Amino acid sequence: MSINKQYAVFGLGRYGSAIAKELVKSGADVLAVDRSESAVNAVISEIPFSKCADVTDKAVIDELGIANTDVVIIAMASCLEASVMATMLAKEAGVKTVIVKVSDEMQGKILKKVGADKVVIPEYESGTRLAKNLLSSDFVDMVELSRDVSLVEIPVKEDWAGKSLQELGLRNKYSINVVAEIKNEEVDINIDPFKLLDASSSLVVIAKTENLNKLK
C-alpha cells in the first residue's frame, strides 16, 4: 500500500496543507516544508514533521533527505521559478514521483519539460482528492461522491482477466457495484455480465469508501 511510502509537500498554502493533512490523517509519513515560518506554525499541530526551509536550495534538499522520499508534491504555483527549481532538485536527488501544482496548462508544459511526472491544476483537482489518489495507488482514479461513497476506476486484476462479472461475483465479494468498463479510452456502460474481462481494461465501480481496502 502506498500509505507506506515517504511523502514530502513543498508549499503550505491552502492546497499544499490540504494534501499534507489528508496524508497524515491517513497514517502516511509526511514532511511538509515552506519558506514562511507562519505557514509552518499554522500546520505544525496537524503535520508534526513541518520545516521552515527554502527548497530551491540544493543544500537544503540534501539536508532534508529528499533523496529518500518516494513522492514529492510541489504546491508553489504562485512562483514558477521556485516550482521549476524545486522540481529539478527533487528529480536530481532521485525522487521517483514529483507532482507539481500549476496555475495553467502553459505552466504545466514547462514543469513537465524540467522533470515533473504529473502536473495538477487545482481548479480541476482538489488537494484532498489528490491525497486520496496517492494513498490508493491500486486505483487509476477516485472521486468522492459523498462522505461515505466513492466512484473509483480500477484496473482489471490479473486473476479477474478471462472471467466474467457474473463468474467473479464482485458485488458479493467486495461490496462494489460495477457501472462501466473502459478499454482503449472507450467507456461501455452496458456491460454484458457474461462477457470475459480483458486484462487491458479497467472497471468503474461505486463503493462505500470503507470497503475500498478490500480491492487492494
**How big is the chain by its Cα radius of gyration, in Å?**
19
Summary mean pLDDT of the chain: 84
CA distances from 183 to 115, 186, 191 (A): 29, 5, 12
Find where cell 522520499 sits: 69
Cell reading at 166: 457474473
CA distances from 216 to 11, 38, 119 (A): 31, 39, 25
Domains and CATH numbers, the chain: 2-135 (3.40.50.720), 141-215 (3.30.70.1450)
Residue 81: how many other CB atoms lie within 10 Å: 9
Per-residue pLDDT of the chain (216 residues; tens, 9 = 90+): 355 789 999 999 988 998 899 899 888 899 999 999 999 999 999 999 999 999 999 999 999 999 999 999 999 978 889 999 999 999 999 999 999 999 888 888 899 998 999 888 875 555 556 655 555 555 445 565 566 777 777 888 888 999 999 999 888 888 888 878 888 877 787 888 898 998 888 888 887 777 666 665
Which is nearest to 93 in space by CA: 31, 29, 13, 27? 31
What pTM value is reported for the model? 0.61
C-alpha span between 119 and 181 (Å, rounded): 26
